[in-house]
Amino acid sequence: VQLQACGGGLVQPGGSLRLSCTASGTFFTIDVMGWYRQAPGKQRELVATIGSSSGVSNYADSVKGRFSISRNNAKDTVYLQMTSLKPEDTAVYYCNVQGRDYGEFYNSWGQGTLVTVSS
């Protein structure tokens, strides 16, 4: 399963950005979709996840109340709406999708999209 992410860029503190990530493949199902990020010199960390069927979401404490994850199952797409952005949100954001591909478990990562929060 391949993932294509887009929507990163440069934004001022307090601004907003929306990331999207679309999964493609031949015969697959999706269990969980999510976003992770990696800032320079730091480890990759969870930002948010959402259950494909349940719609139940989970957020890192650092983004609660500012970021919102959603999905469009018909389009196999996950979104991350980011508001009230802070300089510490600067990172490469990676989408992640887990599920079954021809019955076998897969764990796919997108190529990463850079978000820079700076004045």
pLDDT tens for 8-41 read 999 999 999 999 999 998 778 999 999 999 999 9
In this predicted model, what pLDDT tens digit does every residue of 91-108 receive, in sequence order?
999 999 999 988 899 999
Cβ atoms of 36 and 63 closer than 8 Å: no
Cβ atoms of 38 and 92 closer than 8 Å: yes
Residue labelled with tokens 């997108």: 110
